[in-house]
Structure 1
């Protein structure tokens, strides 16, 4: 009884000397919900600029917010235009051959690739926030479109219906992308982790390169499947149909493209050599075929390209809406839309970092979505901001999105007057252009870095790569996303807990696993929980804490010097807790009480304290057992051990001396 009174006196004395852990003021539910939703969907607080502004000013700011060109256009100068004109012409020289090439990769008529480099860049220039992003068609979504839709409709025998399906898929991709931006759901794209993107893009690039063997070898018929086995089988089953003329021509142009890239990388000032190499290859290839009549000797050419600007294609969309292929078009649009969106935003953010400016992710989604919606109505297929074209735009010294307008103008002139010049362009040159672009996407250095830093990320990367290469592009994507989500679930369901000790020559307490020289405190077990406590991990944490206590008691029994009397839970890493987590803490406390062990909490956060107060857990454990820091909790426990009970170590030493006597 005396010891109990003494303990209460000591606790009261300790309570007066320390800062009490408090919960934040309780807010009404509606205000708390509003705050949570605002932080989730509007973390950048886009409405702060509208505060304390007159109505006319609010209207102007609103137009500038949704149409960013209205914000920066008044400050546009002639010096900016000179830089944008040069960069726009430079990327146009890349856009024309790439547009034709990637259209073939999507099993579309080549002219649609040119259409896709005219309307979408104009829309993006008005709505986008990136100064460097160069809009155009990209290889991986093009391959994905072909691999998904060609299974339903043969693009060779039913070209009209196939084109209608592609345009409809582009429409739904745009609707999906714009909806993510308008609903502020951009965080969904973040589920495509860096490891996922590296593996997926490298796998898709590998498959794209393999599929270009059709053009390099001059094969007329080829598999629509995108997996390695199907491609290799298709290549070697037609061994007798290989065209050596086409193969020699393809290897020569491929070597030329690699040499120009190597030279441009060694001398950054000559970046334009690599940028002009694809167009130069197209010109030389066309002249070679024209003067040697190689088209009569097994070298396939593009043939007739229709002159004129983009025809409207709304009627094509209407026909698919009434067909049985609508669900397939929606599925293709959503999958390809996610890939295009992730690539465009990632590329835009990367180059924005170089120039130290910020791009708005949600505005980018709206811009990319709107340009694809407009594109689907004007005979364009899916576009985004490809890395290769954006890098050229950046190196050419672009200042604003006007470079996209210059590029679109150059493509418009090409459509109006220059398309007949591409009649003799050999398909093998287009295949070489695609292969040269795709090989640079296979990022083996990033995979090696992932292996060194995080083995699980490397597994995700390799799984995505193998899934794409040996199964299909969409299967590889699903495998990678599934493994990334599995990792998130494992982090949530199996959070890390650590035993802590005092670091030598300091007042801090850290994980003994991280600091092996840290000293454990006799009779006190300090545990750190590094995750919010939810229903998904509450049961695991209860079992894990019990095991830590069991292991500590066994260790102390072997030493025969101390008994475990206090368990301190460091809650600094617990950002939130739900009712299951509170029930878990109550069970841990009861288990500790049965063992005559006292449970203490250290540094619980505001949200945690708020819920512990409301659940009456604070009353059960006692306010005096909740401390601001681990150090305060340890000092209190040591003070209790020294004041309430005799020194255990001294007793043991005294007994040993008596035994010797």
Structure 2
């Protein structure tokens, strides 16, 4: 029940004036005891069954409502399976492997993820960015003879098939993600900020777009390796643009136009009337296959087609372990990117549908899925936003929908696969390009970040340009470095200001922003937001001196100068020149400040260097008979202050209070007692 506003207009609190240590003593302060990792692991094992921890499927399957949820899961699984076929075949080409590999990825690893994953709606399988990053490594280490395109004349035969390199990458990704799980490094994904991810995925979309130009135009281009592949590819495209295959170009234009119209106009109309999306991608693939087959596009017009698609399931084989040392950088990059994207989407669905997702368990599930997939001709898997959304919107409740999808794809692998052999590559390239629209439109995010923060805009642009024109892995590294640099630089710009009191209240607000807040006579309240460490201690001191208006070192000199002139002029009539110097020196002396309050309510951390600096400031102000008081000090900061010197407070001669209001009350009482003592001294003298 809401309380009427009239009853909330007056707040009155009566309590004693506390110092920080008194607060601890009176309210039974006790520092929490941290449990080490081994004890925490043992505690977790005792707290819940191992099976429920490692096999989340037992948790939701035990509560599964078979009558209510089975049909929606089956419908969702069937719908997602239809999406897997064209997407899997298309994105497999990004990885420079056979199209059937994309369907393998939607089958083998997904079976494992269903057992170990905590997200009930993520649709695992192919994802454009992860496949493209894998394709870079495949192009780098595969034998050029396995590609049906012209190769660079300087290429050296390696003897490795593209799928062997791809599975080796998957194996490395599995190891990295397992290490993330064991070391509890799920927080590493926090390094990939929204700004970085936006710039990275937009740049990757440009990479994908350029990589598909050859199939869109039906060109024969060289396979470039290393950095600046996009630039070299674009130059090669313009050099050979006159050799464009017109049949492939027509197929691309038609497919892109129809698919774009479907996404922009037909899909919204269908969504209003039915939860099931119209499978335009599958229609395009089937139509392209039939037209190619009955018009002999490959023989009559030279249109490149998919060709052989293996029937049945691949035999398990060990990835080439000798390649692992060469693929560590690629594996780490892909592992972090795929984990971050998968976890982000899992958290979105979990928050929306009110269930829990375990970040470290997700790393474990992805690790086992990729490990299993590396033995069955799979590239690293990642969650797909489009498929996951469809899986949830159509009615999917649990990962049982993924199992249904796997069963349907098993039928495709065993019997239907060869049907797609005449499919033109231009159709798959067109579907990829249309799917990139959302990622490419993220380029507009730059202006949003520019308006919000120039630093974020710099991170976005640096990441985007490096990914687009240099390389994906280098672009990710540049983005992370820029993000860390921005955090480091922002720590050198702490927010500092003076506080004033709103009359007749305990509110203390920024006097530069709140006109109703007035500074208290003879008291300066300095507010600092951020950490105080070896790197920021000078900033703290300089901002304090600037805002308070007193430099203690100079103030001591000014006062000593005044005292010298006064002593020199005692009993004599000073010359006019000396009188001018005295007045000039007296004008520099600050007599207004009688007490300094440091508001530490927003100080998150202080290190020993910061403590030493703080001691020096306190001692220098104390020499001027200006007491320094700390207010609203966080417990970890207070503990660091006392830990560095147990007798610190007694030696320094200052106090700490739990609130600014307590500190101000203490200062006013200090002034009152000082005035009373002065009056008593005068009366005794008289």
- Band of TM-score, shorter chain: 0.7 to 0.9
Give the alignment partner of residue 104 of structure 1, picking from 78, 93, 116. 93
Q: Give the superposition deviation at 1:560.
A: 9.6
- The answer to whether residue 607 in structure 2 is matched with residue 603 in structure 1 is no
Give the alignment partner of residue 598 of structure 2, picking from 565, 569, 583. 569
Native 8 Å contact 2:594 2:626 kept in 1: yes
Question: What's the TM-score once normalised by structure 1's chain length?
Answer: 0.86
Q: Give the superposition deviation at 1:103.
A: 1.0
Per the alignment, in what secondary structure is the counterpart of residue 574 of structure 1? strand
Per the alignment, in what secondary structure is the counterpart of residue 500 of structure 2? strand
Distance 2:34 2:537 in 1: 24
Partner of 2:564: none
- The answer to whether residue 414 in structure 2 is matched with residue 410 in structure 1 is no
Q: Give the superposition deviation at 1:642.
A: 4.5
Q: Which shifted more, 237-246 or 257-266? A: 257-266
Native 8 Å contact 2:595 2:667 kept in 1: yes
Native 8 Å contact 2:142 2:160 kept in 1: no
- The answer to whether residue 657 in structure 2 is matched with residue 627 in structure 1 is yes
Native 8 Å contact 1:136 1:384 kept in 2: yes
Partner of 1:464: 463
Partner of 2:432: 434
Q: Give the superposition deviation at 1:224.
A: 3.6
Residue by residue over 1:556-607, the C-alpha shift from the partner in whole angstroms, topping out at 9 and shown as x without a partner, is: x989995222211111122333322221211111221234322110011222
Distance 2:540 2:521 in 1: 23
RMSD: 2.9
Distance 1:439 1:367 in 2: 30
Native 8 Å contact 1:522 1:562 kept in 2: no
Native 8 Å contact 1:264 1:273 kept in 2: no
Partner of 2:271: 268
Native 8 Å contact 1:176 1:334 kept in 2: yes
Native 8 Å contact 1:223 1:230 kept in 2: no
Native 8 Å contact 2:141 2:165 kept in 1: no
**Residues 512 and 455 of structure 1: is their aligned pair in 2 closer, same or farther, counting only changes over 3 Å?**
farther
Give the alignment partner of residue 50 of structure 2, picking from 57, 62, 66. 62
Distance 1:275 1:93 in 2: 10
Per the alignment, in what secondary structure is the counterpart of residue 97 of structure 1? helix
Residue by residue over 1:268-325, the C-alpha shift from the partner in whole angstroms, topping out at 9 and shown as x without a partner, is: 34676756111111001011111221112031110111101132121xx2xx323xx4
Q: Give the superposition deviation at 1:446.
A: 3.8
Native 8 Å contact 1:216 1:250 kept in 2: yes
Partner of 1:74: 62
Q: Which shifted more, 506-515 or 427-436? A: 506-515
Native 8 Å contact 1:227 1:472 kept in 2: yes
* Higher Cα Rg, which structure: 2
Structure 1: which 5+ runs fail to align?
1-15, 52-57, 647-661
Q: Which shifted more, 364-373 or 563-572? A: 563-572
Partner of 1:650: none
Partner of 1:278: 281
Partner of 2:254: 252
Native 8 Å contact 2:500 2:508 kept in 1: yes
Distance 1:445 1:270 in 2: 31
- The answer to whether residue 613 in structure 2 is matched with residue 584 in structure 1 is yes
- The answer to whether residue 104 in structure 2 is matched with residue 115 in structure 1 is yes
**Residues 585 and 313 of structure 1: is their aligned pair in 2 closer, same or farther, counting only changes over 3 Å?**
same
Give the alignment partner of residue 287 of structure 1, picking from 272, 287, 290. 290
Q: Give the superposition deviation at 1:147.
A: 2.2
Distance 1:433 1:260 in 2: 12
Distance 1:326 1:449 in 2: 41
Q: How many pairs were matched up?
A: 610
Distance 1:169 1:561 in 2: 69
Partner of 1:657: none
Structure 2: which 5+ runs fail to align?
1-14, 147-157, 556-585, 677-686
**Residues 193 and 177 of structure 1: is their aligned pair in 2 closer, same or farther, counting only changes over 3 Å?**
same
Distance 2:164 2:601 in 1: 57
- The answer to whether residue 68 in structure 2 is matched with residue 85 in structure 1 is no
Q: Give the superposition deviation at 1:506.
A: 3.5
Partner of 2:213: 213
Per the alignment, in what secondary structure is the counterpart of residue 601 of structure 2? coil
Distance 2:640 2:471 in 1: 48
Partner of 2:130: 141
Per the alignment, in what secondary structure is the counterpart of residue 531 of structure 2? coil
Distance 1:589 1:559 in 2: 21
